[in-house]
Amino acid sequence: MDALCEAALRARENAHAPFSMFKVGAALEDHSGRIHSGCNVENATFGLTICAERVAVLKAVSEGARQFRRMAVAADTDRLTPPCGACRQVLWEFCGDLELVLVNPRGKTEAFRLKDLFPRPFDASYL
């Protein structure tokens, strides 16, 4: 397992998921090779919950990163868990057609391109 997947699995352990108990970690590799991680953070007002993927993107951007290579998403599921629709939109806007690696704690992985999971994204070209 590579460093990106390991970082996503470690980030998962920091998840704050007292309501769903569904812990997710994400790790985003920028163009220079730095890894920015994030975990889901739930809120009693469910609409204010933020997913691990968006935490990682926002953290990377807040640290000055603007170009990205790939992201790993870790959840403890047998059927590997892809990003939700809101995360796909944010990923597209900030990262473009990056590689997504889905992973679970047992070492199962699967890789996709974002365009394969999000074939007709809305972006600035429509504005």
pLDDT band at residue 1 under the 50/70/90 scheme: low
Q: Beta-carbon neighbour count of residue 1 at 10 Å?
A: 12
pLDDT at 85: 96
Q: Is 122 exposed, middle or buried (0-12, 13-18, 19+ CB in 10 A)?
A: exposed
pLDDT above 70: percentage of residues in the chain = 99
Task: Select which of 6, 29, 42, 53 is catalytic.
Answer: 53
> Which among 93, 35, 39 has a CA at the least distance from the CA of 69?
35
Active-site residue, 63 included: no
Dihedral sign for Cα atoms in the order 124, 115, 80, 29: negative
Q: What pTM was estimated for this model as a whole? A: 0.95
- Region 114-121: what's the mean pLDDT? 94
Ordered by where they begin, the domains of the chain are 3-126 (3.40.140.10)
Query: With 80 as the cut, is the pLDDT of residue 57 above it?
Result: yes
